[in-house]
Structure 1
Amino acid sequence: MTDHPKQVPAEFVPPSVWCNPWHFIAFGFGSGTLPKAPGTWGSLVALPFVPLWQMLPDWGYWLMLGVTMLFGFWLCGKVAEDLRVHDHEGIVWDEMVGMWITLWLVPEGWGWLLLGFLMFRLFDIVKPWPIRWIDRHVHGGVGIMLDDVLAGVFAWLAMQGVIWAWANGLGAGLGF
């Protein structure tokens, strides 16, 4: 995969998204085909899964994160290779896993989901070090996934700080 463009605009929707199940999953069940901000749409598609994951014991949610991340290394690499691109903007499985990481061990409720969504999008868009470096230098399925996994970890740490502050009365006005 050395002679391929780094990204293909999300406006180009490969027809395979609608007939190849791996492409459909990688494109966030079709959400990655939306022309504006596909990563944001993929992150939103991840949210309805969170109440299901929160029904699992903490270790079960953790196990799900490991499985979806490992699956994502393979899935995103396969779909990028099939499309002959490094990282099509429409591949949003990585954003979905990043959202799920962000919301592990977060209290239930729409306010927490919204805050987690905003935190993850912030870290995914800004890409502080080392996320930006990884995004530019690590390729294949691991590279596609890893920057969003790290954005999820950064957002998770931020969320845990907010939860700690809230639990200790420092965020009483947040209304969560």
Structure 2
Amino acid sequence: MTPASDHPAVSVEQPIRPSASFMWRHPAHAIALGFGSGLSPKAPGTVGSLWGWASWLLIQNSFSLQTQAALILLSVGLGWWACTLTARNMAVSDPGAIVWDEIVAMWLILFLIMPAGFMAQLSAFLLFRFFDAVKPGPVAWADRLFKGFGWRGGWGILFDDLVAALCTLLVLALWRWF
């Protein structure tokens, strides 16, 4: 019996470890890898979230509320495409180096809580990292819902982070209310 990898009709791709050259090979890669923040050798999701936070501080001072909201919506659609293509090209269904999901989730959180002081922003960042990393309850459900490659997997990369963002916002709202 011939191993699947030796069979001419079966293609088994080796996962690709992302690099700067991989990132700049296609615009989707640059977006999905957070313009390099996802290339961090340690905690790329945290680095991507920090990049999202820092970039939002520039965005909020440069654009109107309507433009900010449109930017977030467009970034979800653009990210869906970029994450789908990059995951396929890396041959990994949900690579840790893809951090566009963390960036967009941080943008959504900050858009909805601003204006907020540094401590509120830091709390939002820490809560989001908790929900994204630990994946309690609804975040774990969202993470399992869309798996694999193609449009479904690309959406899944984004969806659990959007649910983590909503959980973060819920905790912040309850914290403020009590």
Which residue is equivalent to 1:73?
80
Greater helix share, structure number:
2
Structure 2: gaps spanning 5 or more residues: 1-10, 148-152
**Pairing 1:83-162 to 2, within 5 Å after superposition:** 83-106=90-113, 107-139=115-147, 140-162=153-175
Q: What secondary structure does 2:95 align onto?
A: coil
Who is 1:174 aligned against? none
TM-score, length basis structure 2? 0.78
2:39 maps to amino acid: T
CA RMSD of aligned residues (A): 2.4
Percent sequence identity over matched residues? 39
Q: Secondary structure at the match of 1:105?
A: helix
The answer to whether the Cα contact below 8 Å between 1:4 and 1:84 also exists between their aligned partners in 2 is no
Cα displacement (A) at 1:38: 0.8
Instruction: Give 2:38's aligned residue.
Output: 32
Q: 1:63 aligns with which of 46, 70, 73?
A: 70
Q: Which has the larger radius of gyration?
A: 2
Q: For the structure 1 residues 53 and 156, does the alpha-carbon distance in structure 2 shift closer, same or farther, using more than 3 Å as the test?
A: farther
Residues 88-112 of structure 1 show CA distances to partners (whole Å, capped at 9, x for unaligned) of: 1100000111111221232243222
Shift of 1:157: 2.0
Q: TM-score, normalised by structure 1?
A: 0.78
